[in-house]
Structure 1
Amino acid sequence: MEIMQSLTDGIMLGGIYGVISIGLSLVFGVLGVVNFAQAQFLMLGMYVSWTLWKLLGIDPILGIPLTGAVVFIIGYLIEKTLIQRILKAPPVAQIFLTVGLMIFLENAVLLIYGSSFQSVVVSYQSLGFHIGSLFISAPYLMAFTAAVIVCAGLWIFLSRSWFGKAIRATSQDSDAAVLCGINVKQVYALAFSIGVALTAIGGAVILPYMTVSPSVGGQFSILMFTVVVLGGLGNVAGALVGGLVVGIIQSLSTMVFPVQLQNLILFIVFIGILAFKPEGLLKEK
C-alpha cells in the first residue's frame, strides 16, 4: 500500500511537472532555442500569483488566467526585443542570451521583492481526504487538476485553432509555413509567449504548498530539462509523459533513499537518458 501511495503522489507531481516543462519543449520545438531562463518564468509566475493574492486576495489557482496573461505579455516583449535577434545566430549566442536573461530576471525580482521567502494562505492548504487507505492532499490535488485542465486546453488550442495549426506548421517547416502565408515572426513570438506563460501557470499552481523566493527557479531547472529530454526535446506531448515519469521516479525513490537524494536520482536519470537514448522516449516524428 505504501507503493500505491507513492505512485499516487508521483502521478500528481508528474502532472504538475508536465505543465511546468511543456513550455520549455514548445519554445524549442518552434523556435529551436533552448531557453535556459525557462525556470525563472516559473518564479515570475509564483511572484505574480503571490502579488495578486497579497493585494487583491485572489487564490493562486483562481488567478491562473491573470498570471498567465501577465507573463504572456512579458514573454512577448522579451521575444520581440531579445530572442528574435538571435534566432539565426550560432547556438552559443542563444545560450549566452538566455543565461543572461536568467540572471537578469532573478536579480530584477530580488531588487523588487527582496530575498525573503513568501507564501500564501488559502483555506484548503492543510486539508486532505482518504480514498480507502490512500491519502490525497487537497493542495496537490487542486494543482494537479489545474495542470490537467491547462494541458487539455493547450492540446485543443494546438489541434483546433488556426493559430495552433500555424504553430505546428512552423515547427515542422518554417519555410513552407512562409509560403502558405503564415507570419513566422509572429508565430515565434506567440509560441515563446505561450511557452513561458505555461511555465508561469505551473508556478501559480504550486504556490499554495510552496514558498517563493528569487532563487526558486534553480530548484526546478534540472527537473524541467530532465522532463523534456526524457519526453524528447521539442515534443510537447512527450513533455507531459516525461513529467509523469519523473514525478513517479521522484516519489518512488523516497521509499529507498533519503529525500535529500531525490535530485541525485534525477541527475542519474538525466545523464542516463543523454547517454543511451538522447532522442527521448517519445521521439518527435
Structure 2
Amino acid sequence: MSTLILPAVISGLMMGAVYALVALGLTLIYGVLHIINFAHGSLLMLALYAVYFLNTYLGIDPYLAIPIVLPVFFALGYALQRGLIGPMSSGSEQNVLLITLAVSIIIENLALYFWTSNTRNIDIPYVYDTVELFGAFIPFGRVIAFFGALAVVPLLWLFMAKTRTGSAIRAVAIEKRGAELVGIDVNHTYAICFGIGTACVALAACLLLPTFYVTPQVGYTFVLVAFTTVVLGGMGSLVGALVAGLLLGLIESLCGLFLGDSLGQIGIFIAFILILLLKPSGIMGKAP
C-alpha cells in the first residue's frame, strides 16, 4: 500500500501547487479590491488557449512562452479593470460581481464559437518523461509546475514588501481614502493588482499545458477549487493560499486513490467544511 500512497502524496502536492498558483491571483485581487473575480476561470482558459496556439502555430515551448504570455495577460487584466470593471461598477461590489460574471460568460461563449468544444492538447518531446522522487515516478511537467508555483509566492512577497508599487498596493488595501490623500492613484493601483492576478493565471497556464488539456469549459476544473483555496487559506493571505492549495491537492489525490478519481474532490469540500468549522477565518486568516 505504501508504494501507492507515496506517489499519490507527491502527485497531490504537485497539483496542489498549481491550485495555489491559480488561487494567488484571486487572493491578491480580493486582498486589495475586496471583490471576488468570477472571470478568473475564463481568463485561465483564455491563457491556456494562448499557450496552445503559440505552440501549435509558432512552435514555442509552453515554458518559453512565459515571457510572452505574462505581459500580454497583465495588460489584459489591467485594461479590464481600468477600462471596464472599474468604470462600470461605480464603486459597487455587487456591480463588480455581475460585471465579472458577464465577462466570464462572454469569453466562454466566444471560445465555444471560435474554437468549438473539442479537447486540445499539445505534443512535445518531454511530455512522457518522468522524474524519480523518493521512489515515485512523477511526470516531468508536474515537477516543473510544482517548483514554478512555489517560486511565485516569495517573488510576490518581495514585490509587495520591497517595491514602491507593492507599498502602494498594501496602502490601498488597508485604507483607500488615506492612500488617496498621500497621492496614490487608487484606480491605477487597482488595475495593476488586477493585472498581476491575471498574469498569475497566465503563468499557471504555461506550467499546466504540457501535462493538461484545454477546452472552453476547462476553467471550471480549477476555479471552484481556487475559490475554496482562497477561503480556506484566509482571505487575502498569499502564504495561506499556498498552504491551502498544497493541502487540497494532497487531499484530492488521496481521496482519488481510495475512493476513485471521480470522487477525489469530495475530500476537498469535506476538509473545507471541517477546517472552517474549527477556524472560520481560514488557515492563515486573522480572526475578526
Maintained 8 Å contact 2:24/2:197: yes
Q: Which SS does the other structure have where 2:125 is aligned?
A: coil
Q: Which amino acid aligns with 1:283?
A: G
Does structure 2 retain, via aligned residues, the 8 Å contact 1:11–1:247?
A: yes
SS at match of 1:82: helix
Q: How does 1:16-27 map to 2 (within 5 A)?
A: 16-27=18-29
Aligned to 2:5: 3
Aligned letter for 1:212? Answer: V
- Aligned partners of 1:220 and 1:158: how far apart in 2? 25
In the other structure, the counterpart of 1:196 is: 198
CA distance in 2, matches of 1:254, 1:87: 44
Superposed displacement of residue 284, structure 1: 4.3
Equivalence for 2:145? 143
2:133 and 2:194 map into 1 onto residues whose CA distance is: 40
Pairing of 1:97-108 with structure 2 (within 5 A): 97-108=99-110
Aligned-residue sequence identity (percent) comes to 36
CA distance in 1, matches of 2:124, 2:162: 35
* 8 A Cα contact 1:229 1:273, kept in partner: no
State the distance in 1 between where 2:275 and 2:39 align. 22
Residues 1-285 of structure 1: pairs in structure 2 closer than 5 A: 1=2, 2-85=4-87, 86=89, 88-89=91-92, 91-284=93-286
Residue type of the alignment partner of 1:177: A
Separation in 1, partners of 2:204, 2:231: 19
Report the Cα offset of residue 156 of structure 1: 2.0
* Aligned-residue CA RMSD (Å): 1.8
TM-score, normalised with respect to structure 1: 0.93
Give the Å deviation of 1:136. Answer: 2.3
1: distance between equivalents of 2:86 and 2:191?
8
Find the residue that maps to 1:155 and give its secondary structure: helix
Deviations 1:112-163 (A, max 9, x none): 3222211111121001132442222211011112222333322221121111
CA distance in 1, matches of 2:110, 2:186: 31
| Superposed displacement of residue 95, structure 1 | 2.2
CA-CA distance at 1:111 after TM superposition:
2.4
SS in 2 for 1:136: strand
For the Cα contact (< 8 Å) 1:21–1:224, is it kept in 2? yes
Displacement of 1:104: 0.8
Cα distance in 2, alignment partners of residues 116 and 223 from structure 1: 23
Q: Tell me, what secondary structure is at the counterpart of 2:38?
A: coil
The answer to whether the Cα contact below 8 Å between 1:230 and 1:273 also exists between their aligned partners in 2 is yes
Of 46-55 and 147-156, deviating more is: 147-156
Per-residue CA distance 1:177-218 (angstroms, 9 max, x = gap): 222221111100000011011012112211111110111001
Q: Which shows bigger deviation, 99-108 or 268-277?
A: 268-277
TM-score under structure 2 length normalisation: 0.92
Which amino acid in 2 is paired with 1:164? G
Amino acid at match of 1:133: G
- For the Cα contact (< 8 Å) 1:119–1:207, is it kept in 2? yes
CA distance, structure 1, for counterparts of residue 145 and residue 223 of structure 2? 19
Q: How many residues align?
A: 284
Structure 1 Cα separation of the partners of residues 191 and 31 of structure 2: 13
Unpaired stretches in structure 1, ≥5 consecutive residues: none
Given that residues 33 and 87 in structure 1 are in contact (C-alpha distance below 8 angstroms), is that contact kept between their aligned partners in structure 2?
Answer: no
Could you tell me how far apart the structure 2 residues matched to 1:21 and 1:81 are? 24
- SS in structure 1 of the partner of residue 137 of structure 2: strand
Bigger CA drift: 44-53 or 149-158?
149-158
Cα separation, 2, equivalents of 1:132 and 1:263: 25
CA contact (8 A) 1:229 1:278 kept: no
SS in 1 for 2:258: coil
What is the Cα deviation at residue 57 of structure 1?
0.9
